Structure 1
Amino acid sequence: MKPAGLRLALPRLDRLQPDAVAAYAVLAGGQWQPGQASLAEIARRYGMLRAEAVLHPESCALVAVSMPPLPEKRRRAAVTGEVEALALGPVESLALAYGPRQADGAVPLAWLPQQALQTAMAQLRAIGLRLQALYPAPFFLPVQGPAPAMIQVDGWQMVRTGTASGLVLPPGAPLPAEAAAAAMPPPALCWSGPAPGWSLPVPGAHAGRPAARWGLAAALLAGAMLAWLGGLSLQAARLATHGKALQDHMRARVQDVFPELPIVVNPLQQARQQREARLAGASEEAGEPDFARMLRAASASLDGLQGQVQTLRYQDGVLFIGLRGGPPPSESQAAAVAERAQAAGLSIAPHAGGWQVHARQESLAARPAAGQGNGASRTGR
């Protein structure tokens, strides 16, 4: 049956080598199956499993101190003060962990040198073992009711007094009262205890699963980007629709106010020009600017001009009308346009994707040359 988990009892941290022998157990079929092998062999067989470990009792201190009920922030400060007094050194150099306050007010504390822990974790990763959790020595033992579970390792006595609490006693030390009835469980049960719910800090605990973490982050980022792009496209479409509606409204208003304009390409500019002409007292005929008169007459001579004009350019009495595209006019179409334009006193001929319009000489002699020499350019939007 395929193993589902790995538990290790580490040797002393100063003896961590690939060939160091360690006790271990693998979870298979709901049972922990114990064994012994070198760390390198354990890594070869089970390095892909989720691994957790207990420290050798000589590598990590484990004590219980009595504390009143405190908020988490104040409890952290109280724990730091207790460890500083017990460790006889600065806590900044220690890897520190503590468990929940027990019913009797005791809080379990554990610590070891930070540098020793970092070195050990780096050595285990180099061997091929990546720990997800690291506990003090007793916390793989079962929790078996009123009689605590106890084992000995290298003369040290390890007692698990509860799910989150335990004791580590040096060789020769008497058992305290709460551990007086401790009993050694069968070997198969020595690895079966529940996790205590708190762990010493493990550098790189999730380094073995970057793909899952980054895959989720990438998926969330991609979803956010798609939502943002969708919103941006919707907003752009709304703005385009609003802009076109506004442009159409402006053209309609200009044509309502200045009905003499046959085509409105640039509403603002054409409205300004018509307003200035009216303020100057220009009449609709004699005083009408050549550009407006020529444009009106050209519109009457050219079929289907509305909506097809791309540019208008008026220079030195010549009007150039650029269209948006389409095939050039045939000779018969050009001749028909020229005939209609002649009746209006204009000369119209195809020119560079559009039409070129200018007044016939006899028409120029009969009308004032107002606006000659002034250039104007309009571009369709």
Structure 2
Amino acid sequence: MSTPRSLLLPLGLAAVIGGAGGAALTVGAGSHTTTTTVTQAAVPATADTASTSGTSPVADTSAAPLTATQIYQRSKDAVAFITAQVTQRSSGPFGQVASGTATGTGFVITKDGLIVTNAHVIDGASSIRVKVGDRRPVTAKVVGVDTSTDVALLKIDTGGADLPTLAFADSSAVQIGDAAFAIGNPYGLDRTLTTGVISALHRSIDAPDGYAISDVLQTDAALNPGNSGGPLLDTSGRVIGINSQIESSGSSATGATGGNTGVGFAVPANTVRRVVAQLEATGRATHPYLGVASGDTTSGVAGARVGSVGAGGPAARAGVRPGDVITQLGGTPVRDAESLTSVLEGHRPGEKVTAELLRGGQTHTVTITLGTRPARAVTTAG
């Protein structure tokens, strides 16, 4: 059973790790500290191994493990230093309302200049400059942004040159204890390598739009402000996730967010690849929507207990009621509320899925036509 979200709140503040002026998370004077909560999900999402034309595929896994030095030498020139001139960041769960210069990290996924980073790195930016490896900084355009997964896709003009790229791994194959390597620009210190292990799997963190990002990788590789959007790599130098948030002990009196405490979070590569494929194709990403607020059961029965059902939403139209316990969705078992989010992400808007419900001690089966997730969450449930 997943850890209740409320029990984790006293442990500290998890903060997005985009830099500001190369030295802090928030941007400009009077910024608010970015906060989120962290929970553990019980069921991994369905891996999606499709890739778009020209986008880095899942890399070969047959090569012998590389040393940290080899990984750095092979990867560093595909890592980007991102500088965003911010006019005003959007309000929301992260509370980022500021202006100034924000810095972060990204990485190249196609030789013609597609670059992945976090959405919060470029939030509110009027202009974006990208420096890939040792190349001169150039202006980047935004291909698309998905605040539900904190992923953004940028494009730069390479002048006809082929850029070095990083390939994605299948993040569903990552195990606790696997070595992990982060390359980024903490505090403006470009292309810094830190090492560690995968310390936990299937975490859930809050996205900028208030929804939950599921199946997040937890690592003890040192991550600090400025690492946002950078790659978390495996022993083959493949991207297993985007470094996005850290668990921090708090903030200073000036509002600067605390640094690394040994608990960092990366959006998994399978999620990133699925979103990037949509952003490259259409400039936007869509996510399935069930239209319920759910919580864990208190009886020990596996499943997600429905607390409320959105009027006129997909679940309501299918006859789902408050108090129902969703035990399966689309044939996949649902163990708790967090796993419901994870299982749901394995489907598409408009798809018809069957749901098994426990109601009054009896099992009911309903067919739900999934909707498209609204722009901002009213609750963090699916």
Q: How high is the TM-score relative to the length of structure 2?
A: 0.22
Q: Give 1 or 2 for the bigger CA radius of gyration.
A: 1
Q: Which is bigger in relative contact order (C-alpha 8 A, separation at least 6)?
A: 2
Q: Greater strand share, 1 or 2?
A: 2
